[in-house]
Chains A and B, each alone.
Chain A
Amino acid sequence: QVQLQESGPGLVKPSETLSLTCTISGGSIRNYYWTWIRQLPGKAPECMGYIYYSGTTNYNPSLKSRVTMSVDTSKNQFSLKLRSVTAADTALYYCARGYYGGETWAHRGPYSYFYMDVWGKGTTVTVSS
């Protein structure tokens, strides 16, 4: 079955860029919305955004100015970069496989849905000097 594995530094200095990669095994990268989610200690998860296998991205407006996602179909990997991090970005970061359907994203409405069915185990990133 499909498995996801996050990798990257566990410690990042304030003002620097957090970089994570998710490696997909046991399945194809095609036709899915590859998603990054983070969970601050004791809080609910937060979707950071997704990248479709073709490279189309959509980011959570709350993070849009600092986030970049990319995909490498040849390696079955996708990646996250979060710029200008602060201690408030210390969290458990998950990658996940997502589905989107219904109206087009630009015209999403009551028939739209977005959910994640396969998750990685998560990787903890601490922002500290």
Chain B
Amino acid sequence: DVQMTQSPSTLSASVGDRVTITCRASQSTSYRLAWYQQKPGQAPKLLIYKASTLESGVPSRFSGSGSGTEFTLTISSLQPDDFATYYCQQLWTFGQGTKVEMK
């Protein structure tokens, strides 16, 4: 099955920074990606689906792009509530996660 590789694994950033997380699929034929945010002790929360569609209620500072084997999640201006772990997902497979921590 498709393997998903996220980079970086950890990202140190400050409030107001522009943050970009990349997810690469192992196969040339891949599916349209979803992105989730997870905070400690909570279930993952859907942010983006079909690679670039913003889930209802999610702030517009989150955006997704990409197709084929490379996808990107961008946070245009990092807010205090955004420090969390982010996962990409295609069908059964999640990426290994990117932890966004305070610099």
> B-contacting residues of A (Cβ < 8 Å)?
44-47, 49, 60-62, 94, 96, 99, 102, 108-117, 119-122
15 inter-chain pairs at a CB distance below 8 angstroms, sorted by A residue, are A44-B87, A44-B94, A49-B92, A61-B1, A99-B49, A113-B32, A113-B33, A113-B50, A114-B89, A114-B90, A115-B49, A115-B50, A116-B44, A117-B49, A119-B45
- Convert B62-93 into 0s and 1s, putting 1 for each residue whose CB lies closer than 8 angstroms to a CB of A: 00000110000000000000000001011111
Task: Please give, as numbers and ranges, the residues of chain A lying within 8 Å of B92 by CB-CB distance.
Answer: 46-47, 49, 60-62
* Contact residue among B29, B31, B94, B96 (Cβ-Cβ distance under 8 Å from A113): B31
B100 interface contact, C-beta 8 A = no
Contact partner, B29, options A46, A96, A110, A121, Cβ 8 Å: A110
Q: How many pairs of residues, A versus B, come closer than 8 Å at their CB atoms?
A: 72
For window 14-65 of B, CB contacts with A under 8 Å fall at 29-34, 36, 43-46, 49-51, 55
User: Can you name the residue of chain A whose Cβ is closest to the Cβ of B48?
Assistant: A115
The residue of chain B having its C-beta at the shortest distance from the C-beta of A61 within the complex is: B1
With both beta carbons as reference points, the residue of chain B lying nearest to A117 in the complex is identified as B46
In the bound complex, how far is the Cα of B45 from the Cα of A110, in angstroms? 24
Contacts A61-B92, A94-B44, A113-B49 known; 12 new A-B pairs at CB < 8 A: A44-B94, A45-B94, A47-B94, A62-B1, A96-B43, A112-B32, A113-B33, A114-B31, A117-B55, A119-B44, A119-B45, A121-B43
